[in-house]
Amino acid sequence: MTTYNLALIGFGGVNRTLAELIQSRGSQLQADLGFGLRVTAITDLRLGSLVDAGGIDLAAVLALGPGATFEQFGGSAETDNEAVIRNCPADIVVEATFTNPDDGEPAVSHVRWAIEAGKSVCTTNKGPVALRGRELAALAAEHGVAFEFEGSVMSGTPVIRLAKQMFGGLRLGGFEGIMNGTSNYVLGRMESGLSLQEAVREAQDLGYAEANPSADIDGYDVQLKVLILANELLGASLELSDISREGISSVTVQDVRQASLEGKRWKLVGSAQRNPDGSVTAGVAPQALPLEHGLAGVSGATNAVAFSTDLLGQVTVSGPGAGRIETAYALLSDIIAIHARNSSSAQAGAPAVAPAPIEAARA
């Protein structure tokens, strides 16, 4: 049996939760999955950098209080992500920092540095996938490593991998979906009579919306997700500027009331459609959907994507689209996919990510 060394880039809610899962359920995961996991590097803007080839004491790290840094474990209070990513003893780099929707940085560089160093990568970031996905995938293929990003669209709900693995033999004509829980929550609260501003403030108080909610309310988040799905599943070669975008800021309480009288419900819908000439048209816009529409009943933080297929008609994938536990599971599912890739490559005699022998793990 083998074990994979992991480098966690960013130690916020998602990677911290992954570390908690490894610390608390490591033996069970090893028995269930057939491989072990060991964290050998962590970088974080607040905590600094820590590298330990023998395996980091996750219980101690997770117990750190406010104001503490990795210096007390022999690490550094400073972060040099490039040096850690390129030089740390890791097989897989787990990237979970923030997304800059304009250029995808710093996550794009994190992914590139890892691939160039011969390390596989899994990320929850939309930016690297949406803005540099083709480039980074080609770079990963060139270096013989994996680039996985299931959590970039619907958190732990496996929409990308499910479509790629289970829709074989089907022709996808397009998709439409609800892919942002914050905007969906806000529209739902507006049905109860709250104004847009009141609903946004409530979402912020509950932790659903950021202090600056523009990425959710103005449709930027969904725009990136539509770009990922269109390019990954429909074979498009779209740029972000090709995805039309309209958020929910223009939807009023009166609009919501009128829709209700007409048996409809407002939703922020991201969609893409394959045209007769093979091109793909995609966009994001609020729509008043009939109540019988498959997406009209999707509420709260739940996300759903309905695919149009030639043989099965409409196939809908629904599940949680947010949450630190759910997103941490997406990273775990990426690691499982990397292991499956390695096992398949090893059986075929091809090079694969070389996991460390489990005997080398620290007791």
The catalytic residues are 225
Pairing verdict, β 264-274 and 280-290: antiparallel
Q: What is the distance of C-alpha 203 from the center of its chain?
A: 21
Contact 126, 99 (CB under 8 A): yes
Give the Cα separation of 170 and 97 in Å (integer): 35
Using CA atoms, how far apart are residues 222 and 121, in angstroms rounded to an integer?
A: 23
DSSP labels, 51-118: E-TT---HHHHHT--TT--GGGGT-BSS--HHHHHHHSS-SEEEE-----TTT-TTHHHHHHHHHHTT
Question: Which residues are CB-contacts of 142 (< 8 A; sequence separation ≥ 6)?
Answer: none
Question: Do 108 and 136 contact (CB within 8 A), yes or no?
Answer: yes
